[in-house]
Amino acid sequence: MNEITENRVVKAGYLTGTAQAARDGASLLRQRKDGERKRSAAAKRAARYRNRTGN
């Protein structure tokens, strides 16, 4: 699948590797957002637990 997309991007006049670089960048951004979201949820759970136990 990557080769098909890359071939279409090259035919459109972009440099080879442009599509893969865009996918890699989007993936990295998505991973950062997911990590941030998960850390926030974990902090909320920890706060609820602390409040529930009275510590």
DSSP string, 4-40: HHHHHHHHTTPPTTHHHHHHHHHHHHHHHHHHHHHHH
Given a cut of 60, is residue 4 above it in pLDDT? yes
Given a cut of 80, is residue 3 above it in pLDDT? yes
**C-alpha span between 52 and 54 (Å, rounded):** 6
How do the domains of the chain map onto residue ranges?
2-53
Summarised one tens digit per residue, pLDDT across range 13-52 is 999 999 999 999 999 999 999 999 999 999 999 999 988 8
The reported pLDDT for the residue numbered 2 is: 81
The reported pLDDT for the residue numbered 55 is: 56
| pTM recorded for the entire structure | 0.64
